[in-house]
Amino acid sequence: MKRAELTEKICDIKREKGWSWKYISEEIGGMAPTLVVGALLGQMKLVKPLAKKAAELFGLSPAEEAMLNETPYRGTPMPPTDPLIYRFYEMVMVNGPAWKALIEEEFGDGIMSAIDFDFDFERMPHPKGDRVKIVMSGKFLPYRYYGAEQGIPEYGYKEE
């Protein structure tokens, strides 16, 4: 079985049982819902105790359980074709240069981690149509200036 086939099987069971991702995430627990759902969709891995819980919930075989614990090949083909996912790319393409300038002005020369990262969202009622409020929080990782000498800082933190 390939990982994509396991994802399809999990989605089929979810659909047949009428489960929501929220229900599934609560049943498996142990990590943020984004990570649990991401793992079930093949983009993250579940640690062994959570892979076991997922296997029990979905009635998976030992081989399928082990597959949930493997580090996956992450990502999707570019450009994304799903409109919702594409809009995230559009937000970055349009606003990315400004976000980069503002973050670097505040923190220095570096990046926001997508690994040491939190994500949350909520529905916000609005008279013109409900809105999606997204909160992302990633650790700031300064670039390391290799070979820095003669008073040059070793890391790209904001200079005072």
Rounded CA gap, 111 and 36, in Å? 25
Asked if 90 is an active-site residue, the reply is: yes
Given the residues 90, 137, 144, 154, the one annotated as active site: 90
Pull the structure tokens for residue 101: 């300038």
Asked if 74 is an active-site residue, the reply is: no
Given the residues 74, 87, 131, 144, the one annotated as active site: 87
Given the residues 20, 113, 131, 144, the one annotated as active site: 113
Q: Which residues contact 101 (CB under 8 A, 6 or more apart)?
A: none
Rounded CA gap, 124 and 131, in Å? 5
Rounded CA gap, 37 and 3, in Å? 14
Asked if 113 is an active-site residue, the reply is: yes
What does the DSSP assignment read for 73-123? -----SS--SHHHHHHHHHHHHHHHHHHHHHHHHHBSEEEEEEEEEEEEEE
What is the set of active-site residues?
Answer: 87, 90, 113
